[in-house]
Amino acid sequence: MINTQEATKQQQYHFPAGFWWGSSASATQTEGAANEDGKGKNIWDHWYEVEPNRFFDGVGPENTSQFYYKYKEDIQLMKEIGHNSFRMSISWSRMFPNGAGNVNEKAIAFYSNVIDELIAAGIEPFVNLYHFDMPMELQKIGGWVNRDVVEAYVVYAETCFKLFGDRVKKWFTHNEPIVPVEGGYLYDFHYPNEVDFQKAVQVGYHTLLSSAKAIKAYKEQGQDGKIGIILNLTPSYPRSQHPADVKASVIADAFFNRSFLDPSVKGEFPAELVAILKEEGYMPVMEDGDLAVIKENTVDLLGINYYQPRRVKAKEHMPNPEAPFMPERYFDNYVMPGRKMNPHRGWEIYEKGIYDILVNVKENYGNIECFISENGMGVEGEERFRDENGIIQDDYRIAFIQEHLKWVHKVIQEGSNVKGYHLWTFMDNWSWSNAYKNRYGFVSVNLSKDGERTVKKSGQWFKAVSENNGF
């Protein structure tokens, strides 16, 4: 009787043929070998050198999960747990140690081998070019604030397309481009730890311009794949339907979602955001022809990262006139009573948010081809859930994924063009300043045993989901 029920449950949520099942990762967070085989420093290597106290337990990027050396073993594990696709990133400072100039032959060999290994295992490589990891030599001249860095990025992108485009057919220019803006130039959680709204605007603008120019270069090369961008879309829910709360949510959405979504998909910037930047005197420096490049080079494919909602309300107090300008001058964050929380990460869990994002993309962004490129649950101290067989019993992660997938399934039935689901992440990895505090992977990594890999219960469950194309 139990088996019959289990079989019935397997068929309850069936996904379209060819659905992309897999996970996502990034170079700096997984590769290790931070200073080896010719790799140049990026901003994370530098920041750890000068301020190791800003990193959980003092663990830096050289101690990441050693994918650089263990990629063959890791890709076999991906295959074993049902991956048909995997999103990785290329390290700009591994390919170009100085950010520009000579390319690193050892880096070319490494990424070429990884791509070949994935394809041999029946796993399609999805390749992202920029994941928060500015080469330090380029940061020294201002990073994304400096327009010269846009041109250096385009050369880097063109080089990767030429070298790997024969095998890679899904490319992404940037992952979560709003995060370096927020972290590096507003809220002090990424290097260079500046609080400067004018620089934040310029960084965002140059990042978007670099994306459009890379898309243009990809098409000019006659490449036959698809190229897109990966955005962390965080729905902005108003506290109430009072007009002041609703207006606050519209403005928050313009700052944090539509600032990259609209130009990437529609080729134009949100009017509400432009009006605020003009009124407050923070428009970016632009050159003639830029807006045409952005307008004409929109994405083919949209990666959507979703972790939590943003809840906002109308301002309760006048802003401090002496404080630096912040988006929060136009709204306050709102803590909804009774919300469901992941206490380890301090984030709300709101599964329906993934549905609301996909409905919005369907209705307001031409139902562009898209996929969930990150969704996941970080948990601190997962070792306590390891059973006598050495397997972490992460039923909470299975429940988290299931509940999000139910909403993805619903929106597919309603006509959404969402093509896949990638968990963040394949294996426990170094999570920026949080280092290894919270574990996210299908596979556990034991740092004290040379990075020993063990598939968690969620990885075994995911294998069944992929094989059955549903659950």
Residues classed as catalytic: 176, 374
215 within 8 A of 299, measured Cβ to Cβ? yes
Work out whether strand 438-439 and strand 379-380 pair parallel, antiparallel, or are unpaired: antiparallel
> Using CA atoms, how far apart are residues 333 and 345, in angstroms rounded to an integer?
17
> Residues in the chain, how many?
471
203 within 8 A of 144, measured Cβ to Cβ? yes
82 within 8 A of 39, measured Cβ to Cβ? no
Alpha helices in 254-329 (DSSP H): 259-265, 271-280, 290-296
> Using CA atoms, how far apart are residues 163 and 388, in angstroms rounded to an integer?
46
Q: What is the dihedral of CA 424, 111, 135, 224, to 10 degrees?
A: -80
Residue 350's identity, in one-letter code, is Y
> Using CA atoms, how far apart are residues 351 and 408, in angstroms rounded to an integer?
10
212 within 8 A of 156, measured Cβ to Cβ? no
> Using CA atoms, how far apart are residues 26 and 87, in angstroms rounded to an integer?
8
Burial letters for 3-21: b for 16+ Cβ neighbours within 10 Å, e otherwise? Answer: eeeeeeebeebebeeebbb
Tell me the three state secondary structure of residue 152: helix
Q: Using the 8-state DSSP alphabet, how is residue 215 labeled?
A: H
